[in-house]
Amino acid sequence: MTPAINAARQAKVPFQVHEYAHDPKAESYGEEAAVKLDLPPARVFKTLVVSLDGKELAVAVVPVSGMLDMKACAAALGAKKCDMAEHKAAERSTGYVLGGISPLGQKKRLRAVIDASARGFDTVFVSAGRRGLEIELAPADLARLTGGVFAALSRG
């Protein structure tokens, strides 16, 4: 049980948890999840903590098959500039470790933006709050639980 799973359960949204044996040598947590769960990488989303104008942290939820477009992320969240947050700051504000950061159940709920491609799937997969654990839920439920908005964020 993780705070992410608890958040979905308390909100009474339909979800499924998927567990796999995490390899500490894996170079990409998201790609590892897609391979081990036998899913298209476009359906597995990574949660990236970003810094907006150097003042505020937020999360960008993008497919593991793509790269975050920083300008698009800044625009979607009403900022001038968007950079990746420092690892320690991301872990401290979310309460999760890198590679297990979930958009759900964060210690301090950060503003969220979700890549618009998520709406093309009945369900998507995001971290359930630890490495080797994914939660599957509808994109609309993900947006509702995070307070997130959809925007074109991914390139590649």
pLDDT at residue 23 greater than cutoff 80: yes
Q: Could you give the number of structural domains in the chain? A: 1
CA distance 126 to 16: 11
pLDDT band at 26 (very low <50, low <70, confident <90, very high): confident
Residue 85: domain span: 3-155
pLDDT at residue 156 greater than cutoff 90: no
Helix then strand then coil, in percent of the chain rounded to 5, is 30, 30, 40
Alpha helices, H only, the chain: 3-10, 29-36, 70-76, 87-94, 139-146
Type of residue at 105: G
Q: 118 CB contacts (<8 Å, ≥6 apart)?
A: 45, 61, 63, 124, 139, 142, 150
pLDDT, mean of residues 121-128: 97
Q: Which tens digits make up the pLDDT trace of 90-117?
A: 999 999 999 899 999 999 899 999 999 9
Are 26 and 33 in contact by the 8 Å Cβ rule? The answer is no
Q: Please state the pTM of the whole predicted model.
A: 0.95
The DSSP line for 67-85 is EE-HHHHHHHTT-S-EEEP
In the Cβ-directed half-sphere of 114, how many Cα atoms lie within 13 Å?
29
Answer positive or negative: Cα dihedral of 96, 104, 20, 61.
Answer: negative
CA distance 103 to 127: 8
Nearest residue to 142 (alpha-carbon basis) of 105, 108, 107: 105
pLDDT, mean of residues 119-128: 97
CATH number at residue 131: 3.90.960.10
Q: Which tens digits make up the pLDDT trace of 30-63?
A: 899 999 999 999 999 999 999 999 999 999 999 9
pLDDT band at 1 (very low <50, low <70, confident <90, very high): confident
